[in-house]
Structure 1
Amino acid sequence: MTKTTDQHLLDEEFEHLPVPLSHRHSLSSVAAVWFGFPMIITNAVFGGVIAYNLGFSQALLAIMIGNAILLAYVGALSYIAGSTGRNFALQAERTFGKKGYAITSGFLASVVVGWYAFQTGLTGTTVHASYGWNETVTIIAATVLYTGVTFIGIRALSIVGMIAAPMYVILGIVALVLIGSEHSLSGVFHYNGLGAGSAMSLGSAITLVVATFADSGTMTADFTRWSKDGKSAVWAILTAFPVANVTAQLFGILIVCAGAAVAPASSGGDFMPVLTGHGGVLSVIALVFVFVNLGSVCTHCLYNGAVGWGRISRKKMRTMTVVLGLLGGILAVAGVWSLFLDWLNLLGIFVPPIGAIIIVDQILVRHYSDTQAVPDFRGSAFLAWFVAAVIASLVHYLAPSFSEAVAGMLAGGVLYFALSQCANHIVRRRESREMSAT
C-alpha cells in the first residue's frame, strides 16, 4: 500500500489476510474500540435484571465471576489475534478448516447482525417512548447513521468508543444523583431481590453476563488483530473486562437496588427514563446519548458481521457493511428484532465452545502455526463443538444452578485437546510401525 493510500480516510481493512505490522494501531486506539463497547444501556438493563432476581451481593458476585471468565476467554483469543494479525474468520479457518470455518464464522457473523438489528430497533422504541418520535422513521435514520459510521472502518469504532464510554459514566452518575434526591440510597447494599422466589440462579446469572459478549467476544480478533502484539491485545481487553463491563452493569444494579427502576423485571436498571424525565438541556443530551450509546454496540456488531461475511463471500468489508446494514435495518423496522433477545441464553450454549476450541488448538496444540497444512474440514474440532454444545444444553435444562457457558467452554476445550492428543498418538504409532518395517 502506498503512502498516498495510507493517508486516505478509508484505510485497508484486511478482510482476507493478516494485518501487517506496519499497519497496526496504538494500544490506546485498540483499547478505545473495546472500552466503549460494553458501556451501553443494555448492560445496565442486564445488571439490573440480575439484581432484581438475586439481590445486591449475589448480583455483584455474578458480574465479577462472569467478567473474570470473559477476561480469560476474550483475552486468550485476543492474544492470538495480536500475535498473528488474523481476524476471527482467519482464526477459525486454521482450526475448523479451509471450508469448515464458513460454518462457525457464518454462524457468529449472522448472530452479531441480529444484535445489530436488535439494538437498532431498540433505538427506535427508546426514542419513541422518551420523545414521541415516529418509531419507524427513527429506526431508518439510525440504520443510515450506524451503517455510515461502520463503513469508515476500525478507526471510526475507536472514535465512537472514546465518546461513548465517558458519556455513559457521566450520565450514569447524573442519573444516580437525581435518584438520590428522591430515593434513599442507604438500603442499596441490603437489597435482597426476589430471593427464593427467583427463577434465576447464580449460575444462570453468570451465563447471562458471559452470553452478553459471547458473540463479539469470540470474534474479538476482528478488533484486536490491529494490536502491536499479543500482550498489547490483552491490555486492550482489560479495559473492557472487567473495567468497562463491570462499570456499565454496576449502574444498573445500583438503580434497581435503590428502588428507582421503572420495570426492573424486564428493563432492569435502564436509567434513560430518569434522564428524560427532567426536561430541558438534560433531555437533549439524553437524546444524543441514545444514538451514541446504542450506536456504539451497533457499529461494533455490524463491523464483526461485515468482516466475517466479507471473508466468506470474498467481498470487501465495506460492501458487506452496506448489505448487512440495510438487512438489519429492515429486520428492525419489521419488528423481528424484538424476538432476538430470547436467543441470548442459547448463545451461552453454542458460542463459548467455539472460542475454547480455537484457544486450545492455537495455543496448546498447533501454536497458530503457518506451516502446518489446513484440511478442508477438521472433524475433531466439529465433534468437540457438537459434544460441548450437548453438554452445555444438558446443564442449561437439567442443572440450571450451574453455568452452561462455563460448562460449554470447559467441555469444548478439554474434548478437543483429548481428541488432538489421540490423533497425534495414532500418527506417531503409524510412523513408528512404518519405520520399523523399513
Structure 2
Amino acid sequence: MNEQDQDFALQPVPQAHRRGFWKMLAVMMGLTFFSASMLSGGELGMGLTFTDFMLIVLIGNLILGAYTGLLAYMAAKTGLSTHLLARYAFGEKGSYISSFLLGATQVGWFGVGVAMFAVPVAQITGMHVYVLIAAIGVVMTVTAFFGMRALTVLSIIAVPSIAVLGSVSAARATETAGGLQALMEYQPAEAMGLAAALTVCIGSFVSAGTLTPDFARFSKTGKTAVSTTVIAFFIGNSLMFLFGAVGSFAFGLADISEVMVVQGLLIPAILVLGLNIWTTNDNALYASGLGFSNITKISKGKLVIFNGIIGTVLAMWLYTNFMGFLTVLGSTLPPIGAIVLADFFLVNKGKYQSYETMAFKKVNWIAVLAWAAGVLSATFIPGIPPINGILMAALFYVTGMALSSHFTEEQDKHLNGERKLINDY
C-alpha cells in the first residue's frame, strides 16, 4: 500500500493499523496545542480574576472534553473519520456539506498559520516575509502529506518542547508581574461576564474539536480514544489558556512567543511559535485532505498537496482579511458534530451497521435542516453560541428522526391494512 493510502480516507482504519495510548496521546496533545487558544486565554486573563479564570477554564474544558470524548469514542468504535461518520446522519451526498465546510475552514486556518509564523519571524530576523511563507508552507505541507506517521513524530517532539519552554517563560512572567500573590490578587478593570467568558473558552476550540474523529479513529480501543482526548484537552488546552493569561497579565501580550521575545529568549520564542503552529497546521491540512477526499474521491495525499499550495499562496491575504470570516464560519461546525453524535448515540443506540455493507441515503434532509437550526440558534439566541448550536441541532435532529420514523410506521400500517383488505376481497 502506498504512503497516502495509509490514512484510510475512504474506509475504516483496520485494527492492524491502530495505535496505543502513548502515541495517540502525543497526537491529541499536538491537536490541542493551538496558538489561537493562547489569544483566548489572554482575553480571559484580562477580564477575570485568576480564580474565576481557572473556574471558567475548568468548566469549558469539561464541556469540550465531553463533546470531543464522545466523538473520539465513536471514531474508535467505527474506525471512521468525521466525514465518513457524517454519511450515516447526512447521507452520502449530504455529508459533502459538512466535508466542504470543515475542509475549507481548515485550509483557511493553514494559510493563516503560515503567515502567523512568517510575519513575526521576518520582523525578528529581517528575512523577506514571502520567502519565509513559501518555505514554511512547503515544509508543513510535506509533513502533512505523510499523515498520521508524521503527525505522531512531530507531536512527540513539539508537545514537550512547547510545554517546557512555555512553562519557563510563564514562570518568569509571573515573577516579573510580582509573583503568584500578585496574580491571585489581580482585579480586572472591566469584568467579563460568565456567559461571555464561557463563549470565549469553548468557542476557541469547539470547531477544531469537531474534527476529533479524524485522529481518534486510529486508537486501538474506545477507552484509549476517550482517555487520550480528554487528557489532551485538560492539559494541552489548559496550558495554552494559562500561557496566554499570564502573558497578558505581565506584559499585555497573549502569545507566549511574543512574551519570550520581550524576555530576551529569541531562539526559544521562534521554536515555540514554529512548533505550535506546525502541529496545528499539519492537523488542519490533514483534516482538509480527508474532507475533500470524501467529496471528490481523490486520494488524501494529493489533496493535502493541493490544499497546502492554495493555503500558502493565499497566506498573507488570509492573514489580513480572512480571520473574521473564519471565526464566523466556525459557528457552522459544532452543529455538525452534534448531529453526528445524536445519530449514533440517540437514534441508533450506539450501534452502526458496518460501513462496507451500509446503503446510505443520498441526502437526509432532516440532518440538513437540523444543521441550519443549529447555526441559526448559535447566531441569534442569547447565551453561549456554541452550546446553543449543539443543543438545538441535536434536539431538532432527534425530534425530526422520531417523527419521520413514526410517520413511516403509520404509512406501513396503512399500506398493510389495504393489502389485507385486497387479499380478503
Query: Would you say same fold, with TM above 0.5?
Result: yes
- The partner residue of 2:252 within 261, 276, 285 is 261
Deviation of 1:113 after TM superposition, in Å, equals 0.9
The aligned counterpart of 2:200 is 208
- Residues 194 and 338 (structure 1), Cα distance of their counterparts in 2 relative to 1, 3 Å cut: farther
Deviation of 1:180 after TM superposition, in Å, equals 4.2
- Residues 144 and 88 (structure 1), Cα distance of their counterparts in 2 relative to 1, 3 Å cut: same
- The partner residue of 2:234 within 237, 242, 245 is 242
Q: Does 1:66 align with 2:51?
A: no
- The partner residue of 2:255 within 267, 270, 274 is 270
User: In 1, Cα distance between the equivalents of 2:217 and 2:129?
Assistant: 37
Percentage identity across paired residues of the two chains: 30
1:224-270, CA deviations, whole angstroms, 9 ceiling, x for partnerless residues?
Answer: 1111132221112012222211122112112323x3224xxxxxx21
User: In 2, Cα distance between the equivalents of 1:428 and 1:372?
Assistant: 21
Deviation of 1:11 after TM superposition, in Å, equals 6.0
Structure 2 regions of 5+ residues with no counterpart?
421-425
User: In 1, Cα distance between the equivalents of 2:373 and 2:35?
Assistant: 35
1:378-428, CA deviations, whole angstroms, 9 ceiling, x for partnerless residues?
Answer: 011011111121122112xxx3xx201001111111111111111111122
The aligned counterpart of 2:7 is 13
User: In 2, Cα distance between the equivalents of 1:215 and 1:302?
Assistant: 15
Q: Does 1:350 align with 2:332?
A: yes
Deviation of 1:44 after TM superposition, in Å, equals 1.8
Secondary structure of 1:435 counterpart: helix
- Residues 54 and 345 (structure 1), Cα distance of their counterparts in 2 relative to 1, 3 Å cut: farther
The aligned counterpart of 2:423 is none
1:147-169, CA deviations, whole angstroms, 9 ceiling, x for partnerless residues?
Answer: 01111111111111112211111
- Residues 417 and 168 (structure 1), Cα distance of their counterparts in 2 relative to 1, 3 Å cut: same
1:187-227, CA deviations, whole angstroms, 9 ceiling, x for partnerless residues?
Answer: 1122222325xxx5332332222232233211211111111
- 8 Å CA contact 2:105–2:326 kept in 1: the answer is no
User: In 2, Cα distance between the equivalents of 1:309 and 1:255?
Assistant: 38
- Residues 345 and 117 (structure 1), Cα distance of their counterparts in 2 relative to 1, 3 Å cut: closer
Q: Does 1:305 align with 2:288?
A: yes
Equivalent residue letter for 2:251: A
Equivalent residue letter for 1:56: F
Secondary structure of 2:98 counterpart: helix
- The partner residue of 1:360 within 342, 348, 351 is 342
- 8 Å CA contact 2:207–2:331 kept in 1: the answer is no
Deviation of 1:39 after TM superposition, in Å, equals 2.0
1:77-156 counterparts in 2 under 5 A?
77-156=71-150
- Residues 13 and 431 (structure 1), Cα distance of their counterparts in 2 relative to 1, 3 Å cut: same
The aligned counterpart of 1:187 is 182
Equivalent residue letter for 2:185: H
Deviation of 1:62 after TM superposition, in Å, equals 2.5
The aligned counterpart of 2:209 is 217
- Residues 68 and 225 (structure 1), Cα distance of their counterparts in 2 relative to 1, 3 Å cut: same
- Residues 59 and 84 (structure 1), Cα distance of their counterparts in 2 relative to 1, 3 Å cut: same
User: In 2, Cα distance between the equivalents of 1:353 and 1:167?
Assistant: 34
User: In 1, Cα distance between the equivalents of 2:174 and 2:233?
Assistant: 28
The aligned counterpart of 1:266 is none
Secondary structure of 2:165 counterpart: helix
User: In 2, Cα distance between the equivalents of 1:91 and 1:99?
Assistant: 13
User: In 2, Cα distance between the equivalents of 1:188 and 1:129?
Assistant: 31
- 8 Å CA contact 2:108–2:318 kept in 1: the answer is no
Equivalent residue letter for 1:357: I
Length-normalised TM-score, structure 2: 0.92
User: In 2, Cα distance between the equivalents of 1:80 and 1:340?
Assistant: 32
Deviation of 1:368 after TM superposition, in Å, equals 2.6
Equivalent residue letter for 1:298: N
Q: Does 1:369 align with 2:353?
A: yes
- Residues 341 and 64 (structure 1), Cα distance of their counterparts in 2 relative to 1, 3 Å cut: farther
Number of aligned residue pairs: give it.
414
Deviates more, 1:298-307 or 1:343-352: 343-352
- 8 Å CA contact 1:211–1:344 kept in 2: the answer is no
- The partner residue of 1:322 within 305, 311, 327 is 305
User: In 1, Cα distance between the equivalents of 2:318 and 2:326?
Assistant: 15
User: In 1, Cα distance between the equivalents of 2:270 and 2:218?
Assistant: 32
Structure 1 regions of 5+ residues with no counterpart?
263-268
1:168-183 counterparts in 2 under 5 A?
168-183=162-177
User: In 1, Cα distance between the equivalents of 2:34 and 2:211?
Assistant: 19
Q: Does 1:426 align with 2:411?
A: no
- 8 Å CA contact 1:150–1:156 kept in 2: the answer is yes
User: In 2, Cα distance between the equivalents of 1:355 and 1:190?
Assistant: 39
Equivalent residue letter for 1:351: L
User: In 1, Cα distance between the equivalents of 2:292 and 2:4?
Assistant: 19
User: In 1, Cα distance between the equivalents of 2:67 and 2:358?
Assistant: 25
The aligned counterpart of 1:265 is none
Question: Once superposed, what is the RMSD of the aligned Cα atoms?
Answer: 2.0
User: In 1, Cα distance between the equivalents of 2:251 and 2:236?
Assistant: 23
Deviation of 1:94 after TM superposition, in Å, equals 1.4
User: In 2, Cα distance between the equivalents of 1:123 and 1:64?
Assistant: 29
User: In 2, Cα distance between the equivalents of 1:31 and 1:290?
Assistant: 21
User: In 2, Cα distance between the equivalents of 1:372 and 1:299?
Assistant: 31
Deviation of 1:126 after TM superposition, in Å, equals 2.0
1:331-346 counterparts in 2 under 5 A?
331-333=314-316, 335-343=317-325, 345-346=327-328
Which runs of 4 or more aligned residues in structure 1 lie more than 6 Å from their structure 2 counterparts after TM superposition?
Answer: none
Deviation of 1:55 after TM superposition, in Å, equals 3.5
Deviation of 1:347 after TM superposition, in Å, equals 4.4
- 8 Å CA contact 1:18–1:86 kept in 2: the answer is yes
- 8 Å CA contact 2:99–2:294 kept in 1: the answer is no
Length-normalised TM-score, structure 1: 0.89
User: In 1, Cα distance between the equivalents of 2:123 and 2:60?
Assistant: 32
